[in-house]
Each structure stands twice: as structure tokens, then as C-alpha cells.
Amino acid sequence: MIMGLIEPTSGSIRVFGHDMAHDRHRVLGRMNFESPYVDMPHRLTVRQNLRVFAQLYGVTDSAGKIARLAEDLALVEFLDRPSGSLSAGQKTRVALAKALINDPELLLLDEPTASLDPDTADWVRAYLETHRRDRNCTILLASHNMAEVERLCDRVIMLKQGSLVDDASPAELFARCRRSNLEDVFLDVARGRVNAKNRVVS
């Protein structure tokens, strides 16, 4: 919905001041996203895929940009392999390279470490932390992995059945729910142990 792929049934979404339902093309070049549920063409090599997306996003010096991303994301040895032949972890890194190809000001990540082994998942989280700090990029992360959210996020929005139930920093959520980690906060929200004002009810 934030990228304009789905229209909201009511209300509106504005990114960089533009309504995403009608004006999305003014801002899509300043955003990007990564999701394990969206693939890149399998028969194209990693380099070919990245070159196509670099051109779609109007990246100048695409060869240099691809080389830098490949270096950063440890993709150099896979650049000339078909994307479909990569493992889940390698595909995630390629998808991240695609998501970063235009140096987005707003990066949307949908379960970026889903189905990754713990080592690769940790590597991806560390990379995202560094990227956010170095590029001052806003990251909007959707995840059910509360340890990941706790590590990466300054602000947490909790949704339950499509409704917003909380919006605070991790520290504020711990204090309100009298918990020491987001996993427990999540369970409290999911199981109805906190009410609308985040008071503990049981």
C-alpha cells in the first residue's frame, strides 16, 4: 500500500508529501523495497538483473554502483550466475542489492530475514544497521521477528487484525507493558493482555 501497489479502501498515504494513490511516480524513484515474496527473473544473471533495475531507477554509473554493492554484500562471485541458481541467503543479498541500487531515502523491508539461517540473518541485520547509520536512510521494516525489531528499530508500530494497537519506542513499550523484551510485549498484545491504553490487564 505504501508503494502504491494496493489502494487503501479509505484514507490516504502520503510519502515525501505525495499521495501514493495518485502521485506515486513522483516519489517511487526515491524509495525501494525488498521482500522474500517477490522474485527477480531467474534466468537473468545477478549482474543483468541489477543492471536492468539500475536503469529503471535512472542510476548513473550503474557498473560502478553494482560493483560497490556486490563488494558490500559479498556478491562478487555470484554476479554472473543466474539468479534462480542462488540459495535463499544469496537471493536475499541480491534482493537487498536491488533495493539499495538507487540509494533510497526510504527503504521498505518485508521480513528481510525470513527463511534465512541464523548466521546469514545476523549478517543481514548488521548490514542494515551499518547502512542506516552511514546513509541516514529511513527504514520501514515489517517483521514478526521481535528480536530483529528490537535490534533495528527506533520506533515500533504494533498492528493487530489490521488495527494499530501501539506506536512507541522499544523502551517505552517495555515500560508500559512491564516487560524486558519485545517478544513478551508482542505476546501480551496478541493475547489481549494489554488494553487499548497499553495498561496491563492480567
Residues that bind another protein in the complex, under the rule CB under 8 A: 3-7, 25, 28-29, 33, 35, 37-45, 48, 51-53, 55-58, 82, 98
Q: Minimum Å distance from CB 51 to another protein?
A: 7
Q: Which amino acid is at 172?
A: E
* Residue among 92, 98, 107, 83 at smallest CA distance from 15: 107
Which is nearer to another protein, 81 or 193 (by Cβ)? 81
Which is nearer to another protein, 44 or 146 (by Cβ)? 44
Q: Minimum Å distance from CB 137 to another protein?
A: 17
Which is nearer to another protein, 109 or 194 (by Cβ)? 109
- Determine the length of the chain: 202
Q: Minimum Å distance from CB 85 to another protein?
A: 12
Q: Which amino acid is at 108?
A: L
> DSSP string covering 117-156, please?
-HHHHHHHHHHHHHHHHHHT-EEEEE-S-HHHHHHH-SSE
Pairing type for strands 31-34 and 106-110 reads parallel
Q: Minimum Å distance from CB 11 to another protein?
A: 14
Which is nearer to another protein, 53 or 78 (by Cβ)? 53
Q: What SS3 state is found at 62?
A: helix
Which is nearer to another protein, 38 or 126 (by Cβ)? 38
Cell of 47: 549482474
Q: Minimum Å distance from CB 39 to another protein?
A: 4
